[in-house]
Structures are given as structure tokens and as C-alpha cells.
Amino acid sequence: MKKIIGMLLAVIMSSNVALAQEMANTRRARVISPEITADSVKFHFRAEYATTVTLTGSWQKMGEAPIAMKRDANLVWNVSIAKPEADLYYYYFNADGVATLDPSNSSLQRDGASYRNIFIILGDNSADYMDCPEKGNVSAVWYDSPTIGAKRRMLVYTPYGYNPQAKKKYPVLYLLHGGGGDEEAWTSLGRAAQIIDNLIAKGKAVPMLVVMPNGNANQVNANIYNVPGQPSSMLNNDIQSDMYVTSLIKDVIPFIESHYAVIPKKEARAISGLSMGGGHTLRTNYLFPGYFSYICPQSTGAHPHNQKNSAYAFDEGTLSNYLEGIKKAGYKLFWLGCGDVDPWYPEAQEFDRLLTQHGMPHTFYVTGGGHEWKNWRHYLDTFAPLLFK
């Protein structure tokens, strides 16, 4: 008896989750979801007592109704959709009014406080979103920001083969998230590590570091780390966006250039960001021209902060001065991406005209689609090969 218990315990110790699964299997078959076939994606969800279950996913058009699922004899709810085009997609279920994750799929992405399951449809457009055999590392890095008055968190990607103990030095892309995002948005929603891994492995992009700070000046880090019961990591809400932009120059860049094997020169610095981060990208170069040779705002435009009574309510003359400042400082690439149904598209078009008026060489990269990650992943995949060359 003791021996049998011992053997059982050994099994539990070596794989207690597998055992629990095994025991569950004797009661009911395992659900595998999603199932990706040649022409469909099938979703399955066990919910014995639910009366209505629906599926919502990012392949749907804005405002499209949730997709009804149907219960089978095993009390599993099922639905099949036509295979969408190659890309990364998120989805979630709703059972009797409660939005819930797919328990059969442990791969998640996070948008603010919302967790969603993900899957990938393979194809040319999504090839760089998949795991690459030669992977770089992503670190959660704490740095001191005297400008904001806090120790703050950022993610730092170092490319495959990076070794701080070796002599090789690398260039750096500073990559900024949008409103509602945080320092993890680009690695979670944006697949930034996979994209840069694949571009480097294919020889399309130069090996580089990617630095992803938290652009919400009133946070020390992403909200998910505010564990209930422990002191909050929120700062004073009055902290202005310009303090963040200033901290990029005064705190983040000096930290990176003193802690990593990087080239501390303008020619080896790029900056990009989406939406609010596109605004931060421009604002950084307005206030501190001459730090970046590569300037790549996404889904933003001429007046990203055109609020009345705001520090950003600058007039055309001020904007012209800012642009002349960037022109005078010099740059190698000015690359603006925007979707043609993005609400910011008219502002992006105006910015394109202004850059032309000022005689500033630039690329205005227009795609279909709106203010969405589908575009921002694609923009990173498109402009990163142009950097540091």
C-alpha cells in the first residue's frame, strides 16, 4: 500500500496537472479550441448550464453582432467561421451575459484590463508574427525617472545573439504605445519581439534593441500589477504628457545608453509610436530636435493634441517652427503610417502636406483599415527594415 501511494505521489509530483487532466478525461472528453482547418476556424466551449453562448472576434467588422453558438448533445457549444485572411486574431465567448475566456486556449493578449484569446492564420501577411527559431529576449526593466519622480517600468527587447559581455554595439528603436495601452502593449498586441526576430533572421532588418516605455505619465507600470491589497503604483494624475516626453530624453535614453551595449548616437536612434504614441513621437522631436535620425509616427497627424486651453493648442506658426526645427536638426527617415478609414486619416493627410510644404523628405504609407493593431503590427513590419541603413 505504502509503495502504491509512493508511486502515485511520484506521478503527482512529476506531472500533477497531467494527472488532473487524466482524471477529468474519465468524466468528459477534452475540448480542443479553436480548430483551424483548411477553410474554417471552429470554436468549442463546454458550458453545461448556460442558455445562450456567443462568440466575438477581431475578424468581425466594427459593430457586427456577436455570433450565436449552438449546443450539442455533449453540452458543448460550437460554431464555425470562414477562415479569415492571414493575420493574428483575438476572440472571446459570452455565456449568459458574462464575457469569458476560452478555457481550451491558454494563449492570451491583453488590451488595458481586457484579456482575450488569440490565434494566428498563417500566410505571407502573418509570417513575421510567428515564433522565429532565433529569438531575442524581452526584459522588464525598472529605471529611475527623476523627471517624473518615480521608478518606472519599461520592456527592453535585445536581439538574438546579444551579449552585454561581448564588444558588439547595437542601434535602438524607441517604440511607444497608444492611449489605453502600457509598456506591454507592443509585445502582447503588437508581436514586436516576433516581428523584429523574423526581420533580423531573414536579413531584412539590422539587429537592434527595442525599448518600450510606459507612456502614461501617471503610472509607474501597467495597471495589472496593481495587486488589490498592496500599495497602488498610480502616481499623481496631474502629471503632464510633456513630462513623459522629457523623461524619454532625460531619463530613458541615458539609462539605456549606460546599461546596454548600444551606440549612443543620433544615427543609431529611431522613434515610433501609434496614436497617442504617435503624438509622443512628434512631440519628442518638436521639443528635442536632433536626437533621432529615424522618426516614424503611426496613426497620428498634424494636430494630435488640439484641445482648447491645453499646452498642446499650438497654432500653425508654432507647428511650422517645430517642423523647421526637425528639418534643421536633420534626419534620415520620416515615415508616417495611417489607415484610410482611421479617424486620424485627415490629420495624417494634412501632416503629409505640411511636410511637403516644408520641403521635408518623408514617406506617407497609407493602408486600408482603421485605428487598429492589424495596421500597427504591419507598420512595424514595414518600417523596421528601413532603419539604421
To the nearest 10 degrees (0 to 180), the angle between helices 192-201 and 373-383 is 30
* Residue 118 CB contacts under 8 Å (≥ 6 apart), including other chains: 88, 89, 90, 91, 105, 107, 108, 109
Of 33 and 293, CB closest to its own copies: 33
> Under the criterion CB under 8 A, does residue 65 sit at the interface with its own copies?
no
- Would you give the distance in Å from CA 387 to the centre of its chain? 19
> Under the criterion CB under 8 A, does residue 31 sit at the interface with its own copies?
no
Q: Which of 1, 62, 73, 113 binds its own copies (CB under 8 A)?
A: 113
- Per CB under 8 A, which region of 66-74, 252-260, 353-361, 379-387 contacts its own copies? 252-260
Q: Which of 61, 65, 133, 167 binds its own copies (CB under 8 A)?
A: 133
- Per CB under 8 A, which region of 22-30, 120-128, 290-298, 380-388 contacts its own copies? 120-128
The footprint of its own copies on residues 175-234 (CB under 8 A) is 178-180, 223-231, 233
In what helix (H) or strand (E) does residue 20 lie, and over which residues does it extend? helix 2-27
Q: How many residues bind its own copies (CB under 8 A)?
A: 94
> Under the criterion CB under 8 A, does residue 260 sit at the interface with its own copies?
yes
> Under the criterion CB under 8 A, does residue 6 sit at the interface with its own copies?
yes
Laid out side by side, the sheet with 76-82 consists of: 35-36, 40-46, 76-82, 70-71
> Under the criterion CB under 8 A, does residue 149 sit at the interface with its own copies?
no
Task: Evaluate whether 272 touches 211 at the Cβ level (below 8 Å).
Answer: no
Amino acid at 124: D
> Under the criterion CB under 8 A, does residue 119 sit at the interface with its own copies?
yes
The footprint of its own copies on residues 85-104 (CB under 8 A) is 88, 95-101, 103
Of 87 and 206, CB closest to its own copies: 87
Task: Evaluate whether 53 touches 77 at the Cβ level (below 8 Å).
Answer: yes
Partners of 308 in beta bridges: none
Min CB(332)–its own copies separation in Å = 27
- How far, in Å, CA of 377 to CA of 382, rounded? 9
The footprint of its own copies on residues 44-63 (CB under 8 A) is 47-52
Of 274 and 333, CB closest to its own copies: 274
Partners of 151 in beta bridges: 144
Place of cell 505640411: 354
Q: Which of 64, 85, 134, 267 binds its own copies (CB under 8 A)?
A: 134
DSSP state of 72: -
- How far, in Å, CA of 189 to CA of 183, rounded? 11
Q: Which of 27, 167, 308, 328 binds its own copies (CB under 8 A)?
A: 308
